[in-house]
Amino acid sequence: MDSQMDWHAARAALEWQVEMGVTEAISETPINRFEQVAPPPKAGVAPGVQAPAVPVLPVAEFDPVAEAESVARSAQDLTGLQAAMADYPHCELRKGARNLVFCDGVAGARVMIIGEAPGRDEDRIGKPFVGRAGQLLDRMLSAIDLGRDREAAQSVYITNVLPWRPPQNRDPKPDEMAMMLPFLKRHIALAKPEVLVVMGNISCQALLGKRGITRLRGHWAEAEGLPVIPMFHPAYLLRNPAAKREAWADLLDLHARLTKKV
């Protein structure tokens, strides 16, 4: 090809060739294959005799989700699960995070709250929901007589879909969520709550397989064999205070279920 040919002309020429049915790139100068010297036969195979076909074995692809499922399954308690997550090397988010944010509150509480991912404050301190959204969450819980520092029936247990802060608080990617989901499921199984509260779209996506918190909120669903109530995320409520009315209705609904009024 003329080296002076500009980009547009080169592209037009290429498109023309593709249109004409060209499927293979060949070199600029012709090659006379009759003059080419045949390569020496391979060792052990007589000339003219076809070499036996070498079976092509499928290369087993590494599956980080299967690996997560396996290590999560083998965790026997919450301490073991936290250690397994700390050792799990395949989620890129861990590289940019300062801390693994595992949980707060009381393990074994009736209510398990599932947020999305740590933010800056949570990453710094190593606990979920300690920033402004977390303070609002504490006020919301206290309004129905619950709290992460309360005892027995009034306590809650808190975790997130992702234990590491995504850079710039971006939404987690589907592969990151898929890798960490087996750990979340095992977390729920080991914490043994009666009820799950999933806060925000990411948590709904992880546990209910769908987004659309405005439609989902306030309707009891089921995940991991447990009743689930989707709620607005407290960070959303900070940006949209008018939505606190619906959040209050959902809290009352949760309270009613816990006190067997529904």
Instruction: Please report, as ranges, the residues that interact with ligand URA according to CB under 6 A.
Output: 115-119, 122, 128-129, 131, 133-134, 160, 235
Whole-angstrom distance, CA of residue 187 vs CA of residue 78: 7
Nearer to ligand URA, 154 or 159 (CB): 159
Q: Is 230 exposed, middle or buried (0-12, 13-18, 19+ CB in 10 A)?
A: buried
Please name every residue paired with 160 in a beta bridge, in sequence order, or none if there are none.
115
Nearer to ligand URA, 169 or 259 (CB): 169
Residue type for position 127: K
Element (H, E) at 178: helix 174-191
Nearer to ligand URA, 105 or 131 (CB): 131
Q: How far is the CB of 234 from ligand URA (least distance, A)?
A: 7
Residue with nearest beta carbon to ligand URA: 115
Q: How far is the CB of 111 from ligand URA (least distance, A)?
A: 16
Contact 68, 182 (CB under 8 A): yes
Q: How far is the CB of 134 from ligand URA (least distance, A)?
A: 6
Nearer to ligand URA, 81 or 136 (CB): 136
Nearer to ligand URA, 133 or 251 (CB): 133
Whole-angstrom distance, CA of residue 27 vs CA of residue 39: 21
Q: How far is the CB of 116 from ligand URA (least distance, A)?
A: 3
Whole-angstrom distance, CA of residue 208 vs CA of residue 147: 25
**Which one, of 192, 195, 201, lies nearest residue 233 by Cα?**
201
> Which tokens belong to 33?
């294959």
Element (H, E) at 82: helix 78-87
Q: How far is the CB of 117 from ligand URA (least distance, A)?
A: 6
